[in-house]
Amino acid sequence: MTPVAFYLYADDKVIYTCRLLRKAVAKDAKLVVTGPPSTLETLDQILWTFSATDFVPHCDDLAPRNVRQRTPVLLSQSVQSDARERILINLGTSVPDYFDQFQRVIEVVTDDDEDRLLARQRWRDYLAQGVVPVKFDLDLKALQ
């Protein structure tokens, strides 16, 4: 069963995702980030500029197949199957199709009321599919 983790109370979904990606890529992880087109476009732009010393190699699902296979971070509006070697970060509002084809899934949730409400529904949807998510409270991590 694919493990699912909810990272709660992120100040900003995109900025927090940039940090996650930077850390994961430094450990040679391969990831897919899914979400609405506007969020993925913002993430793409910020990945180019958020750190003066680090670069997170990434491409979108329109890149040639050989580029997508070699790039550690794929930004994709629709999740494809056969992604067992990758981690999925969901910035969308619903449980992605084929989530169970990934090593694990990370859900990034802000403290916005609507975002938390949608996250609660995704939590229930994962439970209905037999997955028991875990949660990490980012507010508490900041205090440590």
The pLDDT score that the predictor gives to residue 82 is 57
Helix, coil or strand: residue 135 = strand
Number of domains composing the chain: 1
Running DSSP on this structure, what letter comes out for residue 87? E
Q: What is the CATH number of the domain that holds 100?
A: 3.40.50.10110
CB-based contacts of 22, cutoff 8 Å, min separation 6? 51, 54, 56
Running DSSP on this structure, what letter comes out for residue 95? P
Q: Taking the CB of residue 21, how many other CB atoms lie within 10 A of it? A: 25
Domain hosting residue 137, numbered range:
4-143
Is pTM beyond 0.95? Reply is no
Helix, coil or strand: residue 91 = coil
Please give the backbone phi and psi of residue 39, each rounded to the nearest 5 degrees, phi first.
-70, -40
For 98, the token pair is: 């084929």
For 128, the token pair is: 């209905």
Residues of the chain with pLDDT under 70: 81-84, 140-144
The pLDDT score that the predictor gives to residue 144 is 44
Q: What is d(CA 24, CA 28) in angstroms, rounded to the nearest whole number?
A: 7
